[in-house]
A and B are shown apart, each in its own frame.
Chain A
Amino acid sequence: MKKRFLAIFLVLTLALTLLAGCGKKPSEPAAPEAASPPEADAQALQELNVGVAQDFDSLDPHHATAAGTKEVLFNLFEGLVKPTSEGQLVPAVASDVKVSDDGLTYTFTLRQGVKFHNGDTVDMQDVVFSIDRNRIAADGGAALIPALAVIQDLTYDDTTLTLTLSEPSLELLSYLTLAILPADYEEQETAPVGTGPFKYVSRQAQDNMVIERFEDYWGTPAKLDKVTFRIIENVEGLVMGLQSGALDLVMHLTSTQTAQLSEKDFHVEVGSMNLVQALYLNNAVTPFDDVRVRQALCYGVDKQDIIDRAFDGYGIPLGTSMFPSFGKYYDESLTDYYTHDVEKAKALLADAGYPNGFDMTITVPSNYQPHVDTAEVLKEQLKDIGVNVTILPVEWGVWLSDVYGARQFESTITGLTSDNMTARKLLERFGSQIGNNFTNYNNSEYDEILAKAVTSTSDEEQTALYRQLEKNLTENAANVYLQDMADLVAVRNGVEGLTFYPLYVLDVSTLYWAS
């Protein structure tokens, strides 16, 4: 018996020692064992391992909805035009774009000799197929991109495509970054084919996706030969992957995570995530259907305190559904519309019939540690106004289906992005009739302004209308807007060429191993 207990105690001690071993690995043993020989190979072959926090929801670029998927698919696909890191749109599959003076006619010239990854040459049929796939509603459903409904007439010959619009649309070009796919190709979901600088090689669900440089790319060729995206849903696994040498680059880390990496092996580049992190409220459930309750939450939250405590001061506080890199659309004055004020929050709650506060649940995707940390700080802050928070961590897949899809939630913390260069994507989703309005925000004034904004013909007027929409969201406290999170990217020393975009994308075509 004595022996048994000695054994148990030894096992426990051993377990703790092992744990200690895990933590210390990065500095010493990993370096000679894992890093040097494979690293030498990787440099010769120009291979890169990138860690991502979630699996890809779809490899069909027209059907992918998760920002984390689009971020990666950016490397495989291109549209007639594509965004640059400066936020401009430049011709891609089209070689030239002409817009008529009245803004009603767009003429695209097809770039000659652009190849798909399967070797076929892109012809006009492919372009028309790709546009129509997004423009025309599949039986019964809504069109994938409702904004393309302004295209009244589409005519083409072998080299030019002419779009005639029913009314001028300032944003049409942004939407024509949509991926050009081979016409009538059925296996996009399992073996995607596009025209981007990288081509798809293989994918293991829940594990990885491999892409290789596309040798026949029409533009500046990618520098890396091969990139492997490794899916590691465990929040700490990403850091361990970096430390062990399995990963070379991971985006969207927290300052706590990057602090664990040694400067000898990694450098950290700081950009902005270009997303709106907020406590998103389901405006259709009690008590969040009462504007006073939502405003009380806004007053109860101290954004700067969240940024300081959970993000080491990195991050830009936001007051509405827009972020600074969208320049003229961003109304900075809304950031301080609600200042942290416990008394005001309590008064509003009392007014709404909750003098003693209430209980609420925040559902957070458990694979995003920044959102989990934010929830913990929020819980503490809201306690002061009598609101008792339960934090419910759920898997990413469950979050997508239950929260984003079925809208079965009270509140959630996430970041919303725009995958093209328009403000519209960030604001349209709060229209009451919009399919992805998962917060159920329902405001008739908002719907009216939105309708006016999307059909506006003057850039100035449209910008003003978008800013009105932002103001509407803030005044009605549609959600508790928090911040545009800082994007901390851990990059293995020797890897260079990281470019930040004003979009949520990771361009691996500019990365390379410096010798």
Chain B
Amino acid sequence: MKKRKLNGYLLAGLLITGLLLLMTLYGAIHTPYSPTAYTGMKFEAPSAAHLFGTDKLGRDIFSRVLKGMGTTLSIALATVAIGAVVGTAVGAVTGYFGGLVDDALMRLNDTLTAFPSILLALLVISLLGPENKYNLILALGIVFIPSFARVTRTAFASLRDVNYITSARLMGAGNLRILLVHLLPNTGRVLFPALTIGFNNAVLAEASMSFLRITPLETSLGYMLSEAQGMFAAAPWYALSTGSVIALLVFGVGLIGEGLQQRDKEA
């Protein structure tokens, strides 16, 4: 097999994302200050002691950004995991078997897609109750199912009747084996870009939800941005550092997705 090259997109994306992930991991183990404790003066400008300055309660913004990335990333990852696993399962069943199951599930899928995603997430949260952060993950996860189902269904449907699958079937392979062993690995080409796009949407969705303050108050990037909005005149570095981190995170993962597609085209 031809050795696959790293292209520019992939390299830049991996660098940015890798750096941010390292920072998040570092933040999970250790932050310069406690992200919620009073550490010095209010509204201190960025300095060596406080890389991103301090906020209105005298908290170190750099520590808060590290902590916030952890919260936002873990929620985004869990959300994408739910969306991808359930979505792929639905896509596999509908794409592979077709027929009535396909029709029923895909119409349900269409119905879910018809709602604006934030509205749907708000609806699910109001049904489940906002007290618990896992409900937020579940709500966002449900919102992400349709897009994964749609993308993977196409992949499964297009591979259903190719020769090697027919051969496998003739050799007596069961449906489950065909789905998992023969088909799933070949959907990577569509699944990986979908994962990166989904991840970005999840980061932004989490940020919007906590920006709107409908979930328990936690140090997450979205909540910090909503706090920062009111202090723009007094502490512009708060909004800038938080906003830039969200933008970089999304940009980096977006580059990876783009790079993967480019690489597949070249291969």
Cα–Cα distance between A380 and B34 once the two chains are bound (Å):
10
Cα–Cα distance between A425 and B73 once the two chains are bound (Å):
49
> Quick one: CB contact mask for A364-388 with B, threshold 8 Å, 1 for yes?
0010010011011101100100000
Q: Per a CB cutoff under 8 Å, which of B213, B217, B232 touches A19?
A: B232
B33 at the interface (CB under 8 A from A): no
- In angstroms, how far is the closest chain A Cβ from the Cβ of B57? 6
> Quick one: CB contact mask for A225-260 with B, threshold 8 Å, 1 for yes?
000000000011001000000000000000011011
A67 at the interface (CB under 8 A from B): no
Q: Are B251 and A12 in contact (CB under 8 A)?
A: yes
Q: Are B239 and A19 in contact (CB under 8 A)?
A: yes
B-side contacts of A26, CB under 8 Å = 233
Bin the interface of chain B by size: 20 to 34
Q: Are B247 and A392 in contact (CB under 8 A)?
A: no
Q: Are B247 and A5 in contact (CB under 8 A)?
A: no
Q: Are A16 and B258 in contact (CB under 8 A)?
A: no
A406 at the interface (CB under 8 A from B): no
B110 at the interface (CB under 8 A from A): no
Q: Per a CB cutoff under 8 Å, which of B217, B231, B247 touches A16?
A: B247
- In angstroms, how far is the closest chain B Cβ from the Cβ of A369? 7
Q: Which of A23, A235, A380 has the most CB of B within 10 A?
A: A23
Cα–Cα distance between A239 and B231 once the two chains are bound (Å):
10
A8 at the interface (CB under 8 A from B): yes
The verdict on A235 contacting B38 (CB below 8 Å), with A310-B57, A392-B216, A393-B213 known, is: no
Cα–Cα distance between A334 and B255 once the two chains are bound (Å):
62
B-side contacts of A257, CB under 8 Å = 230
The verdict on A16 contacting B244 (CB below 8 Å), with A9-B251, A392-B131 known, is: yes
Q: Are A256 and B254 in contact (CB under 8 A)?
A: no
Q: Are A391 and B56 in contact (CB under 8 A)?
A: no
Cα–Cα distance between A409 and B258 once the two chains are bound (Å):
48
Cα–Cα distance between A383 and B36 once the two chains are bound (Å):
10
Q: Per a CB cutoff under 8 Å, which of A19, A366, A369, A380 touches B230?
A: A369
B36 nearest CB neighbor, chain A only: A380
Q: Are B57 and A373 in contact (CB under 8 A)?
A: yes
A433 at the interface (CB under 8 A from B): no
Q: Are B258 and A5 in contact (CB under 8 A)?
A: yes
Q: Are B236 and A260 in contact (CB under 8 A)?
A: no
Q: Which of B131, B216, B217 has the most CB of A within 10 A?
A: B217
Give how many A residues have a beta carbon under 8 Å from the other chain's beta carbons: 37
> Quick one: CB contact mask for B246-259 with A, threshold 8 Å, 1 for yes?
01000100110010
A-side contacts of B233, CB under 8 Å = 23-24, 26, 259-260
A65 at the interface (CB under 8 A from B): no
- In angstroms, how far is the closest chain B Cβ from the Cβ of A28? 13
A-side contacts of B258, CB under 8 Å = 1, 5
A390 at the interface (CB under 8 A from B): yes
A-side contacts of B231, CB under 8 Å = 256, 260
Q: Per a CB cutoff under 8 Å, which of A23, A236, A391 touches B217?
A: A391
> Quick one: CB contact mask for B230-245 with A, threshold 8 Å, 1 for yes?
1111101001100110
Chain B, range 220-234, C-beta contacts under 8 Å to A: 229-234
B-side contacts of A22, CB under 8 Å = 232
Q: Are A16 and B243 in contact (CB under 8 A)?
A: yes
B193 at the interface (CB under 8 A from A): no
Chain B, range 110-150, C-beta contacts under 8 Å to A: 130-131
Q: Which of B57, B233, B240, B262 has the most CB of A within 10 A?
A: B233
A-side contacts of B240, CB under 8 Å = 16
Cα–Cα distance between A392 and B132 once the two chains are bound (Å):
9
> Quick one: CB contact mask for A19-35 with B, threshold 8 Å, 1 for yes?
11011101000000000
Q: Are A5 and B255 in contact (CB under 8 A)?
A: yes
Q: Per a CB cutoff under 8 Å, which of B36, B214, B234, B244 touches A376?
A: B36
Cα–Cα distance between A310 and B55 once the two chains are bound (Å):
11
The verdict on A1 contacting B262 (CB below 8 Å), with A361-B131, A373-B57, A377-B57 known, is: yes
- In angstroms, how far is the closest chain B Cβ from the Cβ of A392? 5
B250 nearest CB neighbor, chain A only: A12
A238 nearest CB neighbor, chain B only: B230
Q: Are B131 and A260 in contact (CB under 8 A)?
A: no
Interface of B toward A, CB cutoff 8 Å: 9, 36-38, 56-58, 130-131, 213-214, 216-217, 229-234, 236, 239-240, 243-244, 247, 251, 254-255, 258, 262
Name 22 A/B residue pairs within 8 A (Cβ), A-sorted. A1-B258, A5-B9, A9-B251, A12-B247, A12-B251, A19-B239, A22-B232, A26-B233, A235-B230, A236-B229, A236-B230, A239-B230, A256-B234, A259-B233, A309-B38, A366-B213, A369-B230, A380-B36, A380-B38, A383-B36, A390-B131, A390-B216
Q: A23-B236, A361-B216, A380-B37 are in contact. List 7 more A-B contacts (CB 8 A).
A: A5-B254, A16-B244, A23-B232, A236-B230, A259-B234, A372-B217, A391-B217
When A and B form their complex, which 7 residue pairs have the shortest distance between CB atoms, in order from nearest?
Answer: A23-B232, A391-B217, A236-B230, A260-B233, A393-B213, A256-B56, A12-B247
